[in-house]
Amino acid sequence: MTKAKPHLYRVEVTWTGNTGQGTQSYSAYDRAHTITAADKPAIAASADPVFRGDKTKYNPEELLVASLSSCHMLWYLHLCAEAQVIVTRYVDYPIGTMMESVEGGGQFSKVLLRPIVTITPESDSVLAAQLHEQAHQKCFIANSMNFPVQCEPSVQLEPDGSPNSSGSS
């Protein structure tokens, strides 16, 4: 039996929204902050605009949804490479649903991943579709959530010049 291996992930979150009054009142400060990690560019972030945030910056809820999508994609590509399913394009349009409580808190109730994967005509489209389930089972982030993470993938064949080369599963 192998022993579980711990992994540590360190980031720095720095509030940049002190407008000169600190947090004197709820409306006195900006929600702006940066997220950095060693040797990586900063991510400009804020609160959701509904919570007085800047709509031009990423908010924590978007970053959570992006993390789920990214982790699933990375596992999926790994599994496809091992199974000799050749992916030429991968795009996901995930949607996260958060329910705000009347007390002002809230929680995510679900995230739906909707990846569209393009594979070569020689690749097995049935296997390509099935590998999403394995990716979901292995995804570190999805396994850490306390709400459902669902996946509704679409697999299409890269055009090879024939009229019936596109398909979905």
How far is residue 37 CA from its own chain's centroid? 18
Element (DSSP H or E) covering residue 81: helix 60-83
Name every residue whose Cβ is closer than 8 Å to that of residue 44 and which is 6 or more positions away in sequence: 32, 34, 57, 58
Q: Which amino acid is at 116?
A: I
pLDDT, one tens digit per residue, over 25-42 is 888 899 989 999 999 999
pLDDT, one tens digit per residue, over 60-116 is 999 999 999 999 999 999 999 999 999 999 999 999 999 998 888 899 999 999 999
Domain with CATH 3.30.300.20 in the chain: 59-159
**Measured between alpha carbons, how far is 135 from 141 in angstroms, rounded to an integer?**
11
Q: How far is CA 99 from CA 66, 95, 103, 104, 111, in A?
A: 18, 13, 11, 10, 12
Considering the four listed CATH numbers 3.40.50.1110, 3.40.120.10, 3.40.50.1000, 3.30.300.20, the one that applies to the domain covering 59-159 is: 3.30.300.20
- With cut-offs at 50, 70 and 90, classify the pLDDT of residue 23: confident
Q: Give the Cα-Cα-Cα angle 49, 53, 57 (nearest 5 degrees).
A: 95
Predicted local confidence at residue 6, as pLDDT:
82
